[in-house]
């Protein structure tokens, strides 16, 4: 298969995932804009706990990854019965662990804003927002499980379309739940718009309702309609199997610890930013959302890389897996370079869409332009990591991500924040992402992430 054909197939699988990722970010943009009109304190309340939400959500998602990689390998080897057996194991295991995570999150929710150093004026809303998210974790878990398993079959289009729908539902629910009932005038036409007026809590509940609806549809297509994985009218045991669980643990554990340690680092960054005041907290939160427009296409391409590499490894095509990884990384770096240029040029406009506060817009635009220079190497680290996951290689990439974050970013951020404020924190981020991209490209080139021997259907067994 020529590089052009590899790139064409990679683009074909990436586009639906990219559209889903972009729709998610547009949803966050709209959500942030709605909350931003409630004032800087409402925005800061969400920004204060957002990194903690990423921590719990990432741990939740990593549980599924250990099973979805095995499903991808089994389907690549055309062993559909084994794939369905792994799927059954994933349902029970992921929900049990999800309940443990939910219990921990609910216990710390009242104390979290205080631990992060948030101002007294935003602690109540921050606690409420975080608690609502934590209590809805099972819905998020099932949504991710359905999407991940469908992608493992090579079907990226359906989960992407459902996630786009989720974003649209979120906007509608938030529009109703955040603002109170009101009358608006559209070109002389008076309209009554119903609303709950729940503010920050409404933003959280809107997202929860959207994910409940999406998770229901995702599981329907997985269990009833998927040709490879449907469990409907196909009897089978849900009894835990040690071999499958142990392999899932070997794959998921590094990813889980990576999420914990990386998001703990993000929480440390939040703690560094929090004493700088409400304006820097809000600017940091909005800038993270704005930057997501640049790097979320990388995650979409990464989803395609995981699928392609996983299917190739399962089919015993080791060299083809490497070629697909190269084409995916090339595509990711190209797209995110263009996105970085756009972000640099339109940074003030991107910030102004989310808040009318001029101080937040000015500071946010400045730090976005700092970060624009890191986007190509950030793409290299994102897509390379997802390719490694498709091959079942997660432990050493975990060490690379964690080492880069804690040794480079946290150290530099702590040193620069005292003299340069929020600007220093984002300079540290830019330097660290460039370093991380370099070490991931080096490992990709060396091929150390590939299985040492060709895999076949027999070796998968």
Q: Where along the chain do its domains lie?
A: 3-460
For residue 439, give every residue at least 6 positions away whose Cβ sits within 8 Å of its Cβ, in sequence order, or none.
Answer: 400, 404
> How far apart (Å, rounded) are the C-alpha atoms in residues 386 and 68?
13
The residues that bridge with 192 in the sheet, in sequence order, are 183
Distances (CA, A) of 41 to 133, 376, 425: 19, 34, 21
DSSP 450: S
> How far apart (Å, rounded) are the C-alpha atoms in residues 356 and 350?
11
- Dihedral angle of Cα 287, 292, 295, 296, to the nearest 10 degrees: 180
For residue 282, give every residue at least 6 positions away whose Cβ sits within 8 Å of its Cβ, in sequence order, or none.
Answer: 40, 43, 44, 47, 355, 357, 360
CB 166 within 8 A of CB 213: yes
Instruction: Name the 3-class secondary structure at 394.
Output: coil
Tokens of 225: 């309609």
What pLDDT is stored for residue 182 in this prediction?
A: 82
> How far apart (Å, rounded) are the C-alpha atoms in residues 226 and 220?
9
> How far apart (Å, rounded) are the C-alpha atoms in residues 294 and 24?
12
For residue 247, count other CB atoms closer than 10 A to its CB: 18
- Dihedral angle of Cα 16, 22, 28, 34, to the nearest 10 degrees: -110
pLDDT in tens, the chain (461 residues): 677 888 888 888 788 777 777 776 666 667 767 877 777 788 788 878 877 887 888 888 888 888 998 998 899 888 999 999 999 999 988 889 899 999 999 999 999 998 888 888 889 999 999 999 999 999 999 998 999 999 888 888 898 889 889 988 988 998 899 988 888 777 778 888 888 889 889 989 998 999 999 999 999 999 999 999 999 878 888 888 888 999 898 888 887 887 788 778 888 888 888 888 888 988 988 898 888 888 888 988 998 899 899 888 888 888 889 999 999 999 999 999 999 999 999 999 989 888 888 999 999 999 999 999 999 999 999 999 999 998 888 889 989 998 999 999 999 999 999 889 999 999 999 999 999 999 999 999 988 898 865 444 433 34
pTM of the predicted protein model: 0.71
Q: Angle CA(328)–CA(334)–CA(340) in degrees, nearest 5?
A: 130
For residue 103, give every residue at least 6 positions away whose Cβ sits within 8 Å of its Cβ, in sequence order, or none.
Answer: none
């Amino acid at each position: 298969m020529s590089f052009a054909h590899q790139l064409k197939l990679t683009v074909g699988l990436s586009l639906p995932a990219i559209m889903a990722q972009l729709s998610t970010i547009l949803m966050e943009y709209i959500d942030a804009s709605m909350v931003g009109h409630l004032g800087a304190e409402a925005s800061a309340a969400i920004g204060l706990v957002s990194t903690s939400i990423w921590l719990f959500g990432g741990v939740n998602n990593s549980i599924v990854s250990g099973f979805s990689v095995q499903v991808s390998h089994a389907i690549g080897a055309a062993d559909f019965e084994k794939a369905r057996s792994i799927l059954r194991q994933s349902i029970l295991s992921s929900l049990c662990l999800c309940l443990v995570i939910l219990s921990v999150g609910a216990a710390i929710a009242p104390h979290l804003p205080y631990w992060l150093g948030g101002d007294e004026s935003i602690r109540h809303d921050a606690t409420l927002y975080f608690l609502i998210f934590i209590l809805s974790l099972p819905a998020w878990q099932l949504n991710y499980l359905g999407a991940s398993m469908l992608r493992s079959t090579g079907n990226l289009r359906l989960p992407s379309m459902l996630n786009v729908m989720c974003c649209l539902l979120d906007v509608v629910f938030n529009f109703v739940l955040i603002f109170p009932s009101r009358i608006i005038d559209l070109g002389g036409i008076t309209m009554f718009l119903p609303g709950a007026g729940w503010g920050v809590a409404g933003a959280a509940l809107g997202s929860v309702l959207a994910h409940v609806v999406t998770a229901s549809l995702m599981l329907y297509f997985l269990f009833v309609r998927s040709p490879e994985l449907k469990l409907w009218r196909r009897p089978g045991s849900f009894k835990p199997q040690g071999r499958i669980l142990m392999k899932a643990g070997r794959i998921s554990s590094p990813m889980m610890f990576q999420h914990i340690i990386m998001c703990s680092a993000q929480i440390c960054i939040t703690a560094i930013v929090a004493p700088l005041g409400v304006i820097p907290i809000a600017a940091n939160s909005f800038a993270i959302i704005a930057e997501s427009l640049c790097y979320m296409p990388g995650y979409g391409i990464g989803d395609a890389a995981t699928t392609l590499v996983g299917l190739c490894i399962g089919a015993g095509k080791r060299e083809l897996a490497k070629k697909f990884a190269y084409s995916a990384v090339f595509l990711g770096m190209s797209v995110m370079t263009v996105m970085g240029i756009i972000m640099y040029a339109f940074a003030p406009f991107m910030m102004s869409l989310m808040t009318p506060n001029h101080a937040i817009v000015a500071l946010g635009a400045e730090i976005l332009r700092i970060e624009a220079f890191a986007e190509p190497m950030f793409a290299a680290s994102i897509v390379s990591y997802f390719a490694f996951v498709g091959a079942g290689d997660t432990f050493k990439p975990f060490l690379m991500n964690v080492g880069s974050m804690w040794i480079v970013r946290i150290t530099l951020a702590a040193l620069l924040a005292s003299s340069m404020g929020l600007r220093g924190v984002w300079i540290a981020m830019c330097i660290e992402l460039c370093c991380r991209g370099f070490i991931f490209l080096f490992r990709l080139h060396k091929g150390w992430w590939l299985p040492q021997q060709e895999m076949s259907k027999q070796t998968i067994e």
